[in-house]
Homo-oligomer: A and B are copies of this chain.
């Protein structure tokens, strides 16, 4: 809930509200978030929405998803890790229940001497509708 994040500037709070209202799996773009945010705060600027998304992403409140081939990044409320699927026909993005096993991630990190903070798993192909 947005109430779990404190000390947020009012506009950023608005951005967070919009993203959370869209809900998990909604995959909204910064543009769409801007449009919806203006319904609450007509004078909010796109730059502010974008800066808010960056901040909220740093805080871990929203997820930023860069799907290969997708025109722009999409956002959704932070939730349990899952994979994404993008249809090459209609461009729709849907959630898939998959995450790289924690043990596997740990092993990869150890072997390469790296610290893994985030993972992103995206599939592309054809959805049921686009055959």
Contacts and interface: CB of A to CB of B under 8 A. Distances in A.
A11 interface: no
Given A66-B66, A121-B119, A121-B120, A114 B98 contact: no
Copies in the complex: 2
A38 interface: no
Contact residues of A: prevailing secondary structure: strand
Nearest to A66: B68
Interface string A47-84: 00000000000000000111011000000000000010
Q: How large is the interface on A (under 10, 10 to 19, 20 to 34, 35 or more residues)?
A: 35 or more
A126 to B, nearest CB: 4
B123 A108 contact: yes
A68 B113 contact: no
Nearest to A109: B125
B116 A125 contact: yes
A120 B68 contact: yes
B108 A128 contact: no
A127 interface: yes
Interface in A87-131: 87-88, 94, 96-98, 100, 104-105, 108-109, 112-128
